[in-house]
């Protein structure tokens, strides 16, 4: 689970101007008046695929017979 939270920190910051999303290039061209960094909230729900990948697997090994039972 820690790897999934680290991916949010690696994302580029998103900005908004007067409620509309803007890119860092647009901020440099238009100016930084009324520009705020968007507050992104990480997704707390897990999809079915994510749950299947993140759950521990039960490892089943072959049964071994020894001695004259072979």
Distance between CA atoms of residues 44 and 50, nearest Å: 12
List the one residue out of 1, 5, 6, 30 whose CA is nearest residue 16. 30
Burial of 21 (0-12, 13-18, 19+ CB in 10 A): exposed
- What string of pLDDT tens digits covers the 70 residues of the chain? 555 554 545 566 788 888 888 888 888 888 888 888 876 666 667 788 888 888 887 777 777 777 765 5
Q: Is the pTM of this model over 0.75?
A: no
């Amino acid at each position: 689970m820690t790897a999934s939270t680290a991916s949010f920190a690696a994302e580029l910051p998103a900005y908004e101007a007067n409620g509309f999303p803007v890119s860092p290039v647009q901020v440099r061209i238009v100016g930084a008046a009324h520009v705020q960094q968007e507050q992104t909230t990480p997704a707390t729900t897990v999809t079915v695929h994510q749950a299947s990948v993140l759950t521990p697997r039960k490892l089943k090994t072959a049964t071994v017979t020894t001695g004259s039972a072979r």
